[in-house]
Amino acid sequence: MKHLSAISVIALPGLAIARDVSYVTDLAVFEALAPCVSSAISYNIARHTRSSICDDSKTGLQECICSTRMHQVTSAISNDIKHGCGSSATEDIYSASKVMQKYCNQDKHITFSSPTTNIVDAYITDLPELAYMPPCAQSALSYAVMGVGSERCPEDAKLNAPCVCNKKDVVRDINLTLKSAAKRSCSNDADVTSVENFYSHFCLMNEGKTSFPSPKSPPGDMSYYITALPQFKSLDECARKGLSTVVMNQSSWLCRGGPQELASCVCMKSGMYNIISSSLTERVKDYCDDTRTGNATAAANAFRYYCSAAKDLVAATVTESISQSHSTASSSTHSATAISRTTSSAGATATSTTVANIAKGSGSGDEDEKQDNSNNNVVPIVGGVVGAAVFTALGLALFFFIRRERRRKTRGERLLDGPPEYSRHMGNSVSIQGYKPAPSVSQLPTAMLSKSRFGGEEISRA
């Protein structure tokens, strides 16, 4: 509070010498603020343009705020920041005080510190190495890092990376959210560890260390999917359909899509083999009627052989082979001073689509009706995928709602019935490559500001 209260003492001299006056949202330093800070400032200044408390011209508004309304404005800004920015309020209040000093003394040179070396010009969701993890882990990582930092860190990528990695309370909340989100999304300790390690490696980019460990391939030569095995092709059509559905569909959420990654995931990731085996029995029974005995056992044997090949215990004879290479990440090859923004996982999406087509094509058309009749008997693992997809969709919808409301609030299009709030779970489930801060406000017309109450009390002239 003392930082903001002191502004009123130094503001008046600047009013006499400043020639070109800008709205606070047009100041260059305003763009360096976290949204929870910039929203508090723009909200509490813009609300004074209604009811003729302050003139809405650039000069009139500045003179009114800095000369007669400084105490009321700074007190409200301070309270809103404490409410919206978490336990980092002291640091954020200081940033707000610097911006208010600049607003009231616009000839004064004020800047914020920004990295000059090891600049990470990318969000964590922009990195191509994100495709090293399964979709469930990618979603959890984006949900935690982008969600926690969406209101409490600057939107400029070059400033966002140091914030999400170094701002103490932000880092604390990201770590807590990462663990719970990954566990809920993937239900596997290995994926929780993978997500936490990815976040750690991303933060090391601020120190010039840009290497990410490549995913490990299975011991066996897995250049093929399970559908290429002779043991698979010898199964009845209904058993092939059940086996391919259970194994191949894991690439849509719990596993990566390439043949090596899928084999490593379903056969060697902790707990996955047992989950697949139990789900397989139920799914094959759904597809095969009671007259076709032994199909579940035959499918289980084919899956067991597939996993033995993945562990290099047997050498499978297959005629199909799929070449695969890990993506070459720009964050590993660019210099340590700048990271270019790239698309995160287009290759993974294409692979997942291919896997889905393989699974769909492995059965016959006469099984479609059987499939429809079995939809109500969905195995647990498929249900988990559906639930996780819903979770992701909700997170994405919430993210865009928050971004839209933030832009409206910053532009002064309308005032909310209270200060911006931090919900601790604002998620984003996709790469936000190209995501830019909202344009600066060039004017704050009274007509665009709706009548608003703040803290239950109308703003007064006192």
Q: Which residue has the tokens 């191949």?
A: 248
pLDDT at residue 149 in the model? 93
- Res. 136 pLDDT band, cuts 50 70 90: very high
pLDDT of residue 50: 73
405-459 pLDDT tens trace: 444 444 333 333 333 332 332 233 332 233 233 233 333 333 323 332 233 334 4
Residue extents of the structural domains in the chain: 2-113+399-429, 124-213, 226-377
State the SS3 of 177-188: HHHHHHHHHHCC
The DSSP output letter for 447 is: G
Range 321-339 burial, b when 16+ CB lie within 10 A, else e: eeeeebbebbbeeeeeeeb
Are residues 116 and 20 in contact, defined by beta-carbon separation less than 8 angstroms? no
Q: Provide the CA 159 distance to its chain's centre, in angstroms.
A: 17
Listed residue (352, 359, 128, 323) closest to 257, CA to CA:
352
pLDDT tens-digit map of 104-134: 999 999 988 888 889 999 999 999 999 999 9
C-alpha of 180 from chain center: 14
- Would you state the structure tokens that stand for residue 428, as one six-digit string? 């984003």
Can you name the residues that pair with 457 across neighbouring β-strands?
454
Residue 152 to residues 85, 315, 389: CA-CA distances in angstroms?
A: 6, 54, 27
Query: What pLDDT, on a 0 to 100 scale, did the predictor assign at position 113?
Result: 86
Q: Is the dihedral of CA 401, 405, 410, 416 positive or negative?
A: negative
Looking at residue 323, its pLDDT comes to: 66
The arithmetic mean of pLDDT across residues 361-380, rounded, is: 43
Contact 283, 262 (CB under 8 A): no
Query: How far apart are alpha carbons 102 and 28 in whole angstroms?
Result: 10
Compute the distance between CA of residue 420 and CA of residue 409 in angstroms, rounded to an integer.
9
* DSSP 3-state of 76: helix
How far is the C-alpha of 120 from the C-alpha of 395, rounded, in Å? 25
Rounded CA gap, 285 and 264, in Å? Answer: 26
User: Which one, of 222, 218, 216, 217, lies nearest residue 315 by Cα?
Assistant: 222
Which tops the pLDDT comparison, 269 or 395?
269
Which DSSP category does 414 fall into? -
Question: 3-class DSSP state for residue 88?
Answer: helix
Q: What is the DSSP letter of 437?
A: P
The more confident residue out of 68 and 375 is 68
- Point out which residues pair with 454 in neighbouring strands: 457
Nearest alpha-carbon partner for 306 in 188, 237, 220, 238: 220
Q: Could you report the per-residue pLDDT of 13-63, keeping only the tens digit for each?
A: 444 444 689 999 999 999 999 999 999 999 999 999 876 789 989 999 999
CA distance linking residue 91 with residue 108, whole number of Å: 21
Could you give the angle at which helices 157-166 and 168-186 cross, rounded to 10 degrees?
90
CA 81 from centroid of its chain's CA atoms:
23
> Greatest CA separation found in the chain?
94
Contact 334, 114 (CB under 8 A): no
- Mean pLDDT throughout 66-74? 93
Alpha-carbon distances, residue 20 vs 105, 107, 295, 342, 445 (angstroms): 11, 9, 81, 39, 19
Q: What is the pLDDT of residues 152-205, one digit of tens each?
A: 999 999 999 999 999 999 999 999 999 999 999 998 899 999 999 999 999 999
Q: Please provide the DSSP assignment of 188-250 as one string.
A: -HHHHHHHHHHHHHHHHGGGT----PPPPPPSS---S-GGGSHHHHTS-HHHHHHHHHHHHGG
Residue pLDDT, tens place only, 255-311: 998 999 999 999 999 889 999 998 999 999 999 986 667 999 999 999 999 999 999
Tens of pLDDT, residue by residue over 211-241, are 898 888 999 999 999 999 999 999 999 999 9
pLDDT at 49: 85
DSSP letter, residue 374:
T
- The Cα–Cα gap between 135 and 385 comes to 10
Q: What is the pLDDT of residue 159?
A: 95
